[in-house]
Structure 1
Amino acid sequence: MNWVRVSTRYHSTVPTQQQGRRAPSSAAASQSTAQNVGNRRGSQPSAGPQPSQSRGGPQSQPASDDEDEDKDTDSNGEVRFVCPKADGLFPDPNSCRKFMLCGSWKAWSQTCPPSLYFDGKLKYCTFKTPQLTCGPVSEEETRKEELERNQDKLLTCDTTQCQLPNCFCSEEGTSIPGGLNANETPQMVLVNFSGALNELVFELYKKVLGYTNKFGANQNRHNPNGCGIKATFFINHEYSNYAQIQWLAAQGHEIAMHSITHRLPEIWWTDNANYSDWAEEMIGIREIILANSGSSSVPAVSRETLVGMRAPYIKPGGDPMFEMASDFGLLYDSSVVAPKGTPPFWPFTWDYRQPFDCHNNKKSSEEKKAVDGDDILGRQSRGRQKRSAKKPKNQKKTTFADKKTNDKTVDRKQRVRRNSPFLGRPLKCPTKAYPGLWEIPVNPLWNEYNTCYHAD
């Protein structure tokens, strides 16, 4: 096939129809070639993605638009794809390895990476499993599944079936495991740090944990049994010093997963991260920590000790995150912030629905209370206080102790529904049960002014 130059400025070339003859080199040749391009629209190669609805090709007279739209299959006998919506990802009706990217009602064929297949329900490329949905999924089936995956369908706690050590639940979330009385239960405080571990924080962490000597391993802060206090470090890869991680692990502190990138924006983890993203981030950081655990015959960090995780920014990712944790055999997650309350919430397993509401959609009867009372964090807004009616001068000021006393008379179920420490966004709790997967809820610190789930 001979080639001629259409424009010397952009150096673009198209094939001519004169096979076996010398291509013309005069201006007339350019005019003839431009005419061929106009007659054979759609045959010129393009660097961008090609629409799946191809119009034309090497034929001298392409089929008209009406004739093309009437056909359900193309020249190869494959089903012609039509975008069901203006934008989105949809399965390729001819191959599980491919999917269609629709934009403004035009479809472009895309191929999954090697060894991955496109799941029509999950809308992303994943491994081939018995649960893989290959091919198009009807809108009715999608809506039906969304209704079935509502959290209201989850079973509530059944203490006759849920027994320690592999299962624990309680209806209100504050029941002490083992049926112990409050005066028989020791106070337990879980100390944990989230983020990169490096020179900026290493000495500070050692000071908090009671290591007075820069090079020593002795602690001056102990538990009642005489042992030094221990902490959990949720590690992300970026900016971390693995020598310092190994030193803390050698002193008996727990190392857990907190992602590789700890990327922004924060809502990416709740709104965009899928199963594969969570696996890459969490299982990826586990493998990186293991790869940097040294060559000792008894390493300080092993696969058996890396059993916990926390989502970046303490923003759980819903079913994709919890399903990943369950599939990869993790023991616990600590990404769910519990509502404020006294007493705080105990750890529980995801065999049943969590003991508090993960959504903070206000009821119509509570909207007025939110205007004149507590905000989403359960704290008094200073701006609202200025706009509120002035209190009489003789009225006694409400103290923090009085407020705690008054809170005891409020129905706990209503209170934990109303007060959520997430700024206007519902927690993405799972909509399915994950038996044996523990949740260590983050009980927030609070007083009459603020509520926070980070001590700093």
Structure 2
Amino acid sequence: MELHHMLHIKLKIFFSAPGPVTEPPTDLAVRCDSAECQLPYCFCSKDGTLVPGGINPEQTPQMILLTFDGAVNLNNYDHYRKVFNHKRLNPNGCEILGTFFISHEYSNYHMIQELASEGHEIATETISLQNGLEDKGYEEWVGEMVLEEFGYIYDSSIGVPALPIPVWPYTLDYKIPHECKSGTCPTKSFPGVWEVPLNTHYVEGFEGGHCPYLDQCVLHNHDAEDVFQWLQEDFLRYYDQNRAPYMMPFHTNWFSIKELEQGLQKFLNWVGTLPDIWFVTTTQALTWMTDPKPVKELNNYEPWDCRKKTNIPPLPCKNSNKCALSFKRPELNITDTRYLETCVECPNKYPWLGDASGSGIPGKDNYVPDNVRK
């Protein structure tokens, strides 16, 4: 948990009073030590812009990470299908892939299984998307999402300010190599946990503004050609320099504006003509970083080879179960109905925090990390 130093304020009206005193933290992460931090389990650099493995940028694949936050359902599924249209291919002939940071509420699990069966990465956002987790205790964090203690490989939530050269992913063994944009970045060391940072998207001299998520930039009042050119110039800051992964994070609202969706399609068509572009999942990008290979070796690179599929979920069922389930938020004394589409049997209740299976027994789940269980 991050500790903030408190200012000692003296009131100078009729008296002076000492402010509260806090003990300084003793386990803060230190600056990168590249001699000690070695791949595959640790990676850092002084300012975060170094290409892993010392590969020349021209020989580094330009990875593009298409990521989508929130529920997957009828509001966005067809839009996502226009991005992953089975026609866009990586240089090795495999279909391009993306990462879906799923939130549970309102998600259609039949659609999610369809995406997973095609090799897209299904990652976790939170269960409920509730605000204020910074004020919650350990149990609430575990119920929503867990990282180090439960073996998560990476986090992707730390924003990077607008920089002339983008930052590569890094492990949290050491102090983060850039300014903390949100003020809530980790200050302790979390060995082996990767951070895939949200580099700020921006174009100098353009009124779109600065944004970690692309739908947060002010582009809705521009036509598709303007949006395409904005994305192109933003992308070239990566491609022409250190080729840090170009993460393109979206929420559903990007696809609700025709000009934004059309501009994205133009960008995807253009960038797909470049010879060293790879659309990969977040985990695939990190796999490459643990053992970097130059572009010339990637056509037969096994972790990105769709012919070597491992741990891919099966195709979804043809006839899914459409479940109407009672749902009562613990903090509200109101019961309503949630609809769940799934290939498994309908649960008794709408699955929620503390009852992931929907058994109807609140608090049924008991999350115990390995280091406590032992």
TM-score (structure 2 length as normaliser): 0.50
The structure showing larger relative contact order (alpha-carbon pairs under 8 Å, at least 6 residues apart) is 2
